[in-house]
Amino acid sequence: MSVAAVVFDMDGVLVDSEHVWDAARRELVAETGGTWTDEATHAMLGMSSKEWPVYVRDALRVPLSADEINAEVVRRMRAHYDAALPLLPGAREAVARMAGAFPLGLASSSNRELIDLVLETSGLAQHFAATVSSEEVAAGKPSPDVYLECVARLDVEAAECVAIEDSTNGILSAATAGLAVIALPNSQFPPARGAIARAADLITSLDDLTVERVRASRA
């Protein structure tokens, strides 16, 4: 089967940012007198910006509104990106390589303003025909919504597409939507074995992401 498009995740795939999100949330919880829990980090992986601020407010007992929590964490993320964008090694080359062979989409749990900031700052925006934030759909990952919306905007069928994902919820989101998944496991927050089992292929760096492997993952 031919590949109609490749859809990238952003956090943990193009930018090394999952730990930055984690630190920004931890700092806010500590500063406002909330209570961080052992499961909080993994619970919020893949949540949309409509979901995780509610979790921070209710489960971590931060005495701010969800909108205030969202805005403050995004402010901290923007400051970090403005200081030094943590683009992962090989990201520019991998995106350009894929764009030379396939239409590209991006399906991310990040806020729209952070997606746009990362793509513009890195110079990668020109390569993507469609980008979707999970704040623009009904539910975040592991729901398939963000991937289904992305392939709809690309005007292709999910069953003809390949996703590049790093996390449990991301892999499950893309696989449930019907995309073949190439997993690039996040070293700091590795995906569960059950999620990796849903992937068609496994790579250890973006240098391994070749046109041939993408086509083979959909064969």
Checking if the pLDDT of 1 tops 80, the result is no
Which member of 11, 16, 22, 201 is catalytic?
Answer: 11
**Torsion angles phi and psi, residue 161, rounded to 5:** -115, 160
Contacts 24+ apart (CB under 8 A), 132-135: 132/105, 132/106, 132/107, 132/108, 133/48, 133/49, 133/108, 133/109, 134/46, 134/47, 134/48, 134/49, 134/107, 134/108, 134/109, 135/48, 135/49, 135/50, 135/111
Checking if the pLDDT of 199 tops 90, the result is yes
Residue 72 pLDDT level (bands cut at 50, 70, 90):
very high
Look up the CATH number of domain 18-83.
Answer: 1.10.150
Residue whose C-alpha is closest to residue 131's, from 104, 158, 157:
104
Residue 208 pLDDT level (bands cut at 50, 70, 90):
very high
What is the pTM for the complete model shown?
A: 0.94
Res 99: pLDDT: 98
Res 71: pLDDT: 97
Res 28: pLDDT: 98
Angle, in degrees to the nearest 10, between helices 145-154 and 168-177: 50
**Catalytic residue list contains 11:** yes
In the CATH scheme, what architecture does the domain 5-16+86-217 have? 3-Layer(aba) Sandwich (3.40)
In angstroms, the CA 219 to CA 200 distance is 10
**Catalytic residue list contains 58:** no
**Domain regions of the chain by residue span:** 5-16+86-217, 18-83
Buried b (16+ CB within 10 A) or exposed e, 137-148: beebbbbbbbbb
Instruction: Give the model confidence (pLDDT) of 81-104 as tens digits.
Output: 999 999 999 999 999 999 999 999
Checking if the pLDDT of 143 tops 80, the result is yes
